[in-house]
Amino acid sequence: MSAVVCEAVCRTFHQGDALITGLDHVSLEIQPGEFLCLSGPSGSGKTTLLNAIGALDTPDGGEITVGGQRLGSLSRAELAELRLRRIGFVFQAYNLIPVLTARENVEFVMQVQGLSAARRRAVADEMLAAVGLAGLEERRPAQLSGGQQQRVAVARAVASGPDLVLADEPTANLDSHSSAHLMDLFEQLNGERGVTFVIATHDPGVMGYARRLVRMLDGRVVADEAQTPQRMAHE
């Protein structure tokens, strides 16, 4: 079963009187365990497609299936449940909850899922150690650097055991060193845990990590090709 199937997905937006095309009959199939990058200039539709796949936005036309579930047939609560159980998000801005510590942020999704406190803590500490933040568990976001915050967000995205991680410009606010570390981490999680990664980016360094590169322009897929991954240099 495919991890994600998009069939002729369309999305338009109103901007004043103008009608903007966000997605124009996008069809795409993503297999479990893929490491895929969506690339293209700003306004090409990468984020719109990511939001639609992540059940955050509803397309005007077409059909999206995630893990065998057709999103169009799900209620708001069911979509929330799907995001909770199957999808992990990493956003461009760090998007941590400022009143929670690093550990509590990582535990957040697991707690909403209903995992026991002991289990949550063990997983959260393991994930924070995996992203290189052992010893910083009790720090709040304001006490962490940008790169550290983004790593907490990654730990949170994968700690709950999702099938699919969607990352929108995850390195946009990071320096090259932190970016390389983050992408190494994504690659490692993909390789070790088999988590499917879909990353929207226009950073060539990030694209280099992808085993499949989908290029978008004006809301359409203009190229979809497999490639040999190339890691960023750690400066």
| Residue 222 contacts other proteins per CB under 8 A | no
Least separation in angstroms between CB 205 and other proteins: 24
* CA distances in angstroms from 3 to 28, 32, 33, 77, 150, listed in the order given: 11, 5, 8, 21, 25
| Residue 163 contacts other proteins per CB under 8 A | no
Least separation in angstroms between CB 176 and other proteins: 26
Strand intervals (E) in 54-128: 61-66, 69-70, 87-90
Q: What helix, strand, coil percent values describe the chain, rounded to 5?
A: 35, 30, 35
Contact call for residues 208 and 232 (beta carbons, < 8 A) = yes
Question: Is the CB of 19 or the CB of 99 nearer to other proteins?
Answer: 99
| Residue 113 contacts other proteins per CB under 8 A | yes
Q: How many other CB atoms sit within 10 Å of the CB of residue 221?
A: 21
Least separation in angstroms between CB 43 and other proteins: 14
Burial of 135 (0-12, 13-18, 19+ CB in 10 A): exposed
**φ, ψ for residue 162 (rounded to 5)?**
-75, 160
H or E element that contains 130: helix 117-130
| Residue 197 contacts other proteins per CB under 8 A | no
In this structure, what DSSP letter does residue 95 have? Answer: -
| Residue 111 contacts other proteins per CB under 8 A | yes
Can you tell me which of 12, 95, 173, 176 binds other proteins, judged by CB under 8 A? 95
| Residue 176 contacts other proteins per CB under 8 A | no
Least separation in angstroms between CB 233 and other proteins: 32
| Residue 1 contacts other proteins per CB under 8 A | no
| Residue 20 contacts other proteins per CB under 8 A | no
Which residues, listed in sequence order, are joined to residue 87 by a DSSP beta bridge? 164
Question: Is the CB of 80 or the CB of 222 nearer to other proteins?
Answer: 80
| Residue 7 contacts other proteins per CB under 8 A | no
Least separation in angstroms between CB 91 and other proteins: 7
| Residue 179 contacts other proteins per CB under 8 A | no
Sheet holding 196-200, edge to edge: 87-90, 164-168, 196-200, 35-39, 212-217, 220-226
Name residues contacting other proteins, limited to 45-74 (CB under 8 A).
51, 54, 56-57
Residues that bind other proteins (CB under 8 A): 51, 54, 56-57, 76-77, 80-85, 87, 89, 91, 93, 95, 97-100, 104, 108-115, 156
